[in-house]
Each structure stands twice: as C-alpha cells, then as structure tokens.
Structure 1
C-alpha cells in the first residue's frame, strides 16, 4: 500500500488544538489552512497557519460544525486532507463521507468506525458485546424528561445524564433526586444540541469518587499500533478535568506489566 505525503491540509478546529496540529504539520513540511469564526478572527491558530478562511458566525453550529462550508473551503484552497483535531466534527461520520465526495482525505478513523464509537450508546453496546465491563445504565436514547425520571428511578440515584455524542463534559448533568430530572434533562439536551448538533441523551449510574484512568492507543490503517500508556484524569472540578498526570500514580507496576505484555502479544498477532 502506498502511503500518501500531503503538501497541504486544512485544520477544522480552533485554539490550542489547531495550534498543535499546525506546529506538527509544519515540522513535517506540510502547509496548513486554518478556519475561523467571527469570534476567532484574531486567534493564534489563524496567524500560525499559512492560509486562513472565515467560515461563519461565532456559534459553533454555524461555523466549526458547518460541514458544507468547511468542505467548500477545503476545495477552494486545494487542501488534500482535513485534520479535525478533537471535538466539533471529529466524531461525526457525515464529515469524512462529505470530504470523500470531493476526493479529500480525512485524517482520522473511517466513517464506519466513527459511526460505532462516536455515539456513546452504540459504543457501550459494542463494548458490552465484547465482554468489557461498562457502567450500569439504560442502553438507549432517553425520549423526554418523563422517560428520564422512570429510568433514573430504576437505576437508582444518583445518576448521570450524558450526551450520546461529543464529549469534554458537554451535555452532562449529575442528578441526585427525581425533582432535579426535568431541569437537568432540558439543560443537558440543549447543551448537547448546541455543541454537537445532536441532543440525544442517555443515563447511567453516577459513580462517586471514581478513578478516571485512560489508556491511549494510536493506530493507523497500515497496521501500525502504538500504546501511549495510561493517563490519570481523576482530578476534576465541575465535571472538567483540571489535572492530567502520566504515568498514573495509582497503577501498580504489576498492572503495568500485564498491560504491556497484553499489548505486545496483540501486536505480534497483528
């Protein structure tokens, strides 16, 4: 399989995320096109890119979530690929499909992979089928506040209302009693709709004082897989991570050896 080397890519994101992508691309000799909304006209990522294009008003759903406009800019600037960063359109399967129509590559998973993993409801279902432990909850979309109240009582308070799409703490509400459900459902749904263009909400048991430890793996379509080790993300405020530490001080050396040997074995099989 021939590996492509791009000469120009479009970065479909903003702020620090876009800056990191641009910095790395420049090190690789790749020129970058940045996009920006009204609010970001003077942002650093706009100045760091080789070219910049305005894509709409400040609200994300009118700019950074506007698939048609971003595709239009990619075509106009001659970008060979689009890097979505994370958030915004990174987990929307319609984005790589739209780019494919213009023969522009998407630097990320296939639309089929995104379809399964980007939605937390389908991702949890696939994980459960694979024998992975998941947080107890309702494996489906919550229709309205009344439905949410019924499900929450079946699960047992406290519960977490969570947006099925996106991440970063958007569209998440902790609920400790039935009287809080209606307001929490409405605010979570509205925030999810504005942030991800998808107001779908599901419910799972809220785990108090958990350890949030991520094991990050990068893989490409050429069979290359790299494990970046674990990252401790448990220190939070208002459901937002405020400190990330790697390696995690809570993982024993024995557990790390098991993790490493399992990864090595998997890589040999691949």
Structure 2
C-alpha cells in the first residue's frame, strides 16, 4: 500500500515558503532588526523608568549602594520583558491557532510577522541583559545565568531568522512567567521585608508558578516534540539539534533551581513557625 504523498508535499511547500522568507523577505526587510533595536530600547526605557519611579516612591532606594541600584533597575527591566513575552507567548501558542494540529503542514515551520517581530524584541532583551551580566560579572549572576541566556539568545535568534521552531521557542519563553515573582522576592529581601506576609505569599506563588511554567509545561513540550518528531527531524540540521538539546539543558537547570526555591520556602516557613 502506497503512503499518501500529501504530508510530504505539504512539508515541501512550507520549506519552500521558509526559503522565500529567509532569502528574500528577511534579506530585504529591516523589520526583524528593527524589532531587536526596539527590544534594546524597551530595556533602556524600562531600566530608566524603574530608577525614576523607585527614587520617588521607595524611600529605601537612595540608601542602596551602587551595585544594588543597578541590580534593582535591571530587575525592573527584566520584569517588563517577562510580562510582555509571557502575554505574547501564551497568545501565540494557545489562542492564535497558528500552531494548531488542525492546520495543514508541519507545525515546526509555522511563523508569522507577529511571531517574528516578538522574537526580535526578546532578542533585544537577551542581548542587553547578557551585556550587563558580562560587564558586571558575577554581580548580576553566575555562569548558570550566562549559559541560560546564551542558549535562549541562540535559540530565539535562530527561530527568528529561519522561521523554524517558533512553537518550541514560545513554549520555552512562557517560563518567563516566573520572573516577576523572582524579582519581587529580591525587592522584598533588599527592602528588609523578609518577615512580612507578602514575602511568604510570594514564596508560595513562586513555587506554584515555577512548577507549572518550568516543570509541567516542559513535560508538555517534550511530549509535543515526541508526537511531532517526524517533523522535527526534517528541520535544518542545526535547528534539529538545537530543538533537541537546548530544552533538555534548560529543563535540568529549572529542576535544580526549583529545588533551591523549595528549600528557601521551607526555611522561611520554619522561621515563621518558630516565631
């Protein structure tokens, strides 16, 4: 019995579209690069906005040392990016219908102007944050942050320029949901509010969001990859290995960080119980 040729023809059609986008549209369009510059500008504005707002609304900001002020502003910047990319990722993956299995053609080569532009903004953020981490290393984060950001930057940049694996990049970027809670915990710590109810509630919320966004969602990502492996193996060789390797490395890091968060929450609850 002959195997239907429709899936193979559909994949070839999408690959042809990908070549056209990469070699002609992206080659002659400044949109992706404008998005990257826009992301960098967003980071600059968010950094300055955090500094200005904090100066007027948080009395303890003036008493912070220079390094603490830089990290405070940097975390404000990362929070803005996290909110933006979480909203866009959830929309594109679960509500836009772009990656629905009901559509014809491989999910691995589906992209749109909106998804490519959004990735460009996120690339601008990763470039900015990596530059700050490198310049002030290790004050803003150790080697684990460098590895995480470099993998994220490389994967996101590949997806934007090639049009491949947008679905998996956005599933991974949904993990930014946890960033605002992490930053808020640091803000409360620096503000001397570790004994407050807000600090405890934030710790519980961090555990829940981390479990959902960085553990359970990654399990769904791996399941999705397993179901669509026949499409993944037809990707560009570099993209194929990137899709297989990058999520595994980041997932291991997520599990290790999750264990630290659990230990921190247990320590906080034990301290409050002793009081």
Name the structure where helix makes up a greater proportion of residues: 2
Higher normalized strand content (fraction of residues): 1
Task: Give me the TM-score of the superposition, normalised by structure 2.
Answer: 0.23
